[in-house]
Amino acid sequence: MAPIHVSAESVIDAPAEAVYVYIADMRRHHPQFLPDAFEDFEVESGGIGAGTVTRFKINAGGRTREYRMEVAEPEPGRVLTESDTLSSLVTTFTVTPRDSSAHVAISTSWEGARGIGGFFERLFAPRVMRGIYADELRRLDAYARSQQAAG
């Protein structure tokens, strides 16, 4: 199996501390900026930061896949990871302060399948996932702006 890596990044027009809270709060904030590809998002346990467990499906490229993710915070306030308990997939959110805004990177890695299925996975999955992450970052920016305006 060959590792597959996908990433997207953007500047979010809100303070890094607030943006990290939006990402880490899986009950109140995070679901508000998930792209339409995410379905049936639910918090199984916890809700904010490390120890939280979520379930959801991603419908992309004509396929639906279920995930059960466990959250960790290797660098609380800056780096949050979601590790799929059903596969090798790990998604990392990195939030870096940039003046009065935040630079956010979303990156995912997993061990790709073998054979012809793995070939097509390596060919198509990164492009589809980059599109989903670009959408999520746009939604996060709009959500962060609305929260800043309301607060």
How many structural domains comprise the chain?
1
Residues 87-113 have pLDDT tens digits of 999 999 999 999 999 999 999 998 866
Residue 49 has pLDDT above 60, yes or no: yes
Specify the pLDDT at position 112.
Answer: 66
- In the DSSP assignment, the letter for residue 26 is T
Domain, as residue range, for 111: 3-150
CATH number at residue 81: 3.30.530.20
Stretch 65-92: mean pLDDT, rounded?
96
pLDDT of 123: 56
Q: Give the integer Cα–Cα distance in Å for 134 and 18.
A: 20
What mean pLDDT is predicted for residues 106-133? 75
Give the span between the Cα atoms of 138 and 106, in whole angstroms: 12
Global confidence as pTM: 0.92
Locate 83 and state its tokens.
């590790």
How far CA 80 is from CA of 49, 51, 115, 121, 151, in Å, comes to 8, 11, 32, 25, 24
